[in-house]
Structures are given as C-alpha cells and as structure tokens.
Amino acid sequence: MNEPVDPKKVTHRRFESGKNPWEWEDLQEKIFQADHSYKCPTYIHRAPPCQGSCPSGHDIRGWLAIARGMDKSPVEGQSWQEYAFNRMVEANPFPASMGRVCPAPCEDGCNRNEVDDFVGINGVEQYVGDWAIQNNLKLPEPGPDTGKRIAVIGGGPAGLTAAYFLRRDGHAVTLFEAHDHLGGMMRFGIPGYRTPREMLDAEIKRIIDMGVDVRLNVTVGLGVTVEQLEKEFDAIFWGIGAQKGRPLPIPGADAPNCMTGVEFLDAFNQGWVVHTARRIVVVGGGDTSIDVASVARRLGHISQTHQHDIADHGTLGYTAHDVTGALAREGVQATLTSLFPLEKMMAAEREREDALREGVDIKGGVMPLEVLLDKDGKARALKMCQCEMQGNAPKPIEGTEFEIECDVIISAIGQMGDLAEGLEALDNGNGFIAIEPGYKVKEMGKHFAGGDIVRPHLLTTAIGHGRIASETINRFLDGKDNFKRPKVDVHQFNLLEELHQRHLGPDPYNPGQERGTSDARYAVHNYEDRGSSHIIPHSDLFKGHFKWEDREKRSEIHVDSESVIGNFEERIVGFTEEQAKREGERCMSCGLCFECDNCVIYCPQDAVFRVPKKDRAVGRYVQTDYTRCIGCHICADVCPTGYIQMGLGE
C-alpha cells in the first residue's frame, strides 16, 4: 500500500525521467544543429487566469508585482501603495469596496491553487484601497475638454464607473440619481457592516471631485424625459440597476405583508425598517457568484478549490443572506429557506455557520407552495414542503407539507429592471435593456447600458460594464463603428506603455532599414503579446519552482446570537502592510517574467542574459544572444511563469 503524499513535498516535475518531449520528427533535424538552431526563445505575454476571470478586468498580476516590490514606480519618492492604487483604478475605481464584497472569482481561477492555495487577491485589494482613502489619494485628472456632453442615468457601480472613465477622457458628465445619495446596490442593497459608509462615500467622492455634475432625487422618465436627454446630450448611459425584486410564483404572494428582498434592503439601508414584525421568513434563491467561480476555474483549468477567507454568498444569495443578517441584528426571528439541502448548498460552510451563529434558522431542501392568509387578507404563514432538486428544478415530495407561521414574507429569488413610466421604449419585454456588443442599446442611436439592467450579476461585473461601455461611447463620439471586443476583454499589460513611462521605448522605424536583426532598436524584439486572446493555464508553468507557502488570511469578527442585536460594525479585519506584501510575493506572475533568473542560470550556452539595469522594465528583464543559442529548450522548461516559448526564426 502506497503511503500518502505530503502535499507540501510535491515536486511538480514537468517531465518523466528519460522522456524527451521535443521529439518532433519533422523538425528535429532542422532545429537541433551542432552549434546553432532555427528555434530560439521568444517571450510571449499571456493573460493570467485571475485577470481573465475578473469581471471588472483588473490588472491583478500588475499590482501584485508592485506589492511584491518587483515593479517599482518610475516616479521618484512614490510609495508602492500609491503606485498600486494607480494601477488598480485603470480598471476599477472601487478597490476598497470590491476588496470587501466581491466573491473573488479571480481567486478561484488562480493557478496557485494547483500548488498550495490561491493568492489572497481580495485582501491586497482591500489593503491598498483603504490606504488610498487614509492618505487622501485622488483619481487621475480629466483629459482635455472634448466639448461632448454625456448623461449617465443611475449612480450605482455601473453608472459611477462609466462617469469616471468618461470624465477621464475629457467629456462633460452629468449623473442623474433617483435617490438622495449615490452608490446604488453598494449602498441601498448591502448593509453597512459589509460596505462601511465612510469608505463608500470616500470612493464615490473621488469620482465626483473629477468634475462630475450630480443631480440627485431626479427620476428619469418622470422628472426628466428621454426626449429631453436626447436633445441635451451627445450620448446616454443607462446604469439604473434591477430595482424590482421578483415575487414568489405561488398563490397568495400578493398579500400586503409580502415583499421582495430588494424592497427590504432598500428600506433598511434608508432607515425605514419597521420594528413591529418579529417572525419573518426569507425565501432565498441562487446567486451568480457560483456561476462566475465555476467559469474562473474553467478559464484556468483549475481542479483544486479552496475556502475563501471571507465567505461568499453562494446559493443562499447575497440578497437573502443580507436580509436575514439585517433582521437578526434587529432582534427578529428570521427563518431562511432554500431549495437545496443544507449539506449541498453552494454557499461556503463558514457562511452558513455565521448565519446560524447569529440566530438565523436555515431550512434547506424545502420549497414554498402557498402563502396562507388570515381573515384580513394578510400572510399568516408560508406553506412549504420538502423537495428534491432535479438540476435546478425542485420536485415536491408528497406528504411532507408543513407551515411556518410568520408576520412578513420576503422573496429574495431574483431581480428585474423598473422600466415603466417613460422608459417603456428601453424594455426588451423582460424588464431589461437589450444591448449589442460593447453595451450599445439595440436600435436606439446614442443610448448605451450596463450593470444589472442588462443582466443582474455581481457589483464587479457592473463595474466592468461601465468601463467597456465608456470605450464604446468614445468610439461613437469619434464617429467610429463599434468593433469586436477582444476575447479576453480586460485591462491588459502593455509592454510599450511600460517602456515609454520609463523612457525606454524603441526608436522610430525608417523604411528600408534591415529587418530580422536583434541589434536594431526600432522594435521590441523576440516578444509577442497574446494577452487579448490567450489565458495561460497552470500546465504551462514550471510549478516545481514554487515551494509551499501558507496563504495570509483576513480574520473576521464573529458575532453570536446574544450580541448580534444592533451590531452593525464591520466584521472583516484587513491586511497589514506586511501581509499584503507577502501575498504579493506568492503571486506566480503567470504569463509574464518575474525576474527569477532561472533562464540565465540554466542556459548551458550563456545565450540568455540580463538586460543592462538602466534598460530594464517589467517584461524586459532578459534578452537572448541568438549567435549562441542552440535551441535546447532548457530556458523554456525552467521558466516558472510560462513566459518563454520556443519559436522558429529566420
């Protein structure tokens, strides 16, 4: 019987002893010559799976390289935190918020899962975001005035992000919001113990301080018509969210004391919660975070999964979980029901434990049948039964019916847009806005849309929609046609930009100059950028380079049922600077050189060498002397990040 393998001693050997992986009959004689080769190392940039699975398109690998100290700011005296913050807001202006509430599909897709455990990306993001607030960092200055005016409807994550990027590009932006505060679902859909209001206000204020004109308490469609917007503005972005919750599809669900989770959270976060109801049942539905996580694992071909330090909201649904958590803190007897049995819920085990610890009664494997009414037509109980799941469809089990007596029933099973009263032309028939690629509204000229009104999803997804839509709006304003978005539609590492910011860019090319030489300075040689189309899997890395390193984990303040009432303090304990740096050091820099020197050390011909220090930049740490290279593949074999691939040349 074989003894169990200690995972901390796994070697991750790339090849079996005695096996030559390069035995290609048609190329062998041409490639392997006595003292030269037609095949030499090429440096290939590919997108890492963390970034490929991030809905907002964060350059995660980039700011982790800054945290680890590899990528140093070209600005004299600039702290690494400010440099990392500037990199983060190239894609996402809400690092402190998303570091707290994003379910982190990037961590599920992280290639490090195959070595030990994922990199604590959310923890580093929260640390940098909080540091930026504490040190009053600003967003980039707006570009030169373009003379164009853009209307943004909705002050949630999609609308605020679109306003931010459009203002950066020099457009005049007017933001319309129906509430008296900005924030959307970040404020009115999530309790303050998950998104502390001072933190949220600071991140929003940075955007407004760029010169965004804000008009609060304005309902477009009523106070301002669509026709007025079309006359006054050059483009219109709709980020109005999914403001209507879906009622239970059962008899009696229209009773006056039945409401949706969206309605409850909006009322709660505006301070309108009624304290008289003491027995409340919340019917929870699915949550897209699990879908995103599974996509992330497919992107990175990850087979290992690990528990997050901050629990996501799985099958319970973030709406259902937030509703019950808020109720428990008000001293309410809260019952949460789910179609899936407790042991098969996709929600993290610790999340369920938190809910139970805080006094929430969770009933799994049950489905609602009917809202039972009293003589006044109000709900007095919810009739339910046990069920079996056949895929995502529940099948009732006969003879298992029971009742849960209650004062209020809250349905948290989904959301849709509110497109009535002046906005009917935007409705695709299902309560959402139909879009073309690039988030242009179908058949509506200057209109664009993003966020939950397009598809209810994660907050970070709405942020990604706002970023991409702003690019599409720019093309529209410039009179350019929409174009096919890249397969990996994220904020990519750009080697030329990296070189130019350090004044190391290539010289201009003059027609007639010799081509195919590695000595000329008019091009970036032996480099290819595939980031927009390729995500690098863990199988392309030399994982044997990485030793087992335990992940830094954020701790969480647990609250029991005795002390939960009235307790709305934040529960996440953020990273220290040392923890953030250590997690940066655990990043494997998938698809981009992280300056380990393996290729330099192991090259038997001394053909690979470091670029002179004065000429170095991220992605340009080593070069190859092609007069020495014999095509032995060793540099590619020992490259931990998969940055080196062998390619045929002239």
Q: What is the largest CA-CA distance in the chain?
A: 96
- Which regions of the chain carry the CATH code 3.50.50.60? 244-416
Q: Is the pLDDT of residue 468 over 50?
A: yes
Domain 244-416 class, CATH top level: alpha beta
Q: Return the top range by mean pLDDT from 233-237, 332-336, 509-513, 535-539.
A: 233-237
CATH architecture of 28-46+494-530+591-650: 2-Layer Sandwich (3.30)
Does the CA dihedral 155-157-162-167 come out positive or negative? positive
Nearest to 641 by CA among 612, 581, 599, 580: 599
Query: In this predicted model, what pLDDT tens digit does every residue of 293-304 receive, in sequence order?
Result: 434 433 456 677
Rounded Cα–Cα distance for residues 54 and 460 (Å): 8
At residue 291, the pLDDT reads 37
39-61 burial string, b = 16+ CB within 10 Å, else e?
A: bbbbbbbbbbbbbbbbbbbbbbb
What span, in angstroms and rounded, lies between the C-alpha atoms of 472 and 143?
A: 17
Q: Are the beta carbons of 554 and 573 closer than 8 angstroms?
A: yes
- 157-203: pLDDT as tens digits: 999 999 999 999 999 999 999 999 999 989 887 778 788 999 999 99
Mean pLDDT value across the chain: 85
Q: Given phi > 0 = left and psi -120 to 50 = alpha, else beta, which region is 205?
A: alpha
**Which segment of 32-36, 112-116, 525-529, 546-550 scores lowest on mean pLDDT?**
32-36
| From 96-100, 409-413, 423-427, 599-603, the region with the lowest mean pLDDT | 409-413
**Position of tokens 């301002």?**
224
Distance in angstroms (rounded) separating the CA atoms of residues 62 and 89: 12
Three-state DSSP at 240 gives coil
Average pLDDT over residues 323-351: 68
Query: 427 falls in which pLDDT band (50, 70, 90)?
Result: confident
| Burial class of residue 462 in the structure, from the number of CB atoms within 10 Å of its CB (0-12 exposed, 13-18 middle, 19+ buried) | buried
Q: How far apart are CA 558 and CA 325, in angstroms?
A: 12
Please tell me which residue, 18 or 444, carries the higher pLDDT value. 444
How much is the pLDDT for 5?
61
pTM: 0.84
SS3 452: helix
Higher pLDDT, residue 55 or 482 = 55
Higher pLDDT, 94 or 480: 94
Q: In terms of pLDDT, which residue wins out, 313 or 122? A: 122
Least confident of 95-109, 404-418, 478-492, 554-568: 554-568
pLDDT reported for residue 315: 32
Residue range(s) occupied by CATH 3.30.70 in the chain: 28-46+494-530+591-650
Q: What is the DSSP string of 494-505?
A: -HHHHHHHTT-P
Nearest CA among 123, 119, 97 for reference residue 108: 119
Mean pLDDT confidence for 231-246: 92
- Least confident range from 56-60, 192-196, 271-275, 645-649: namely 271-275
pLDDT computed for residue 298 by the predictor? 39
d(C-alpha 441, C-alpha 13), whole Å? 51
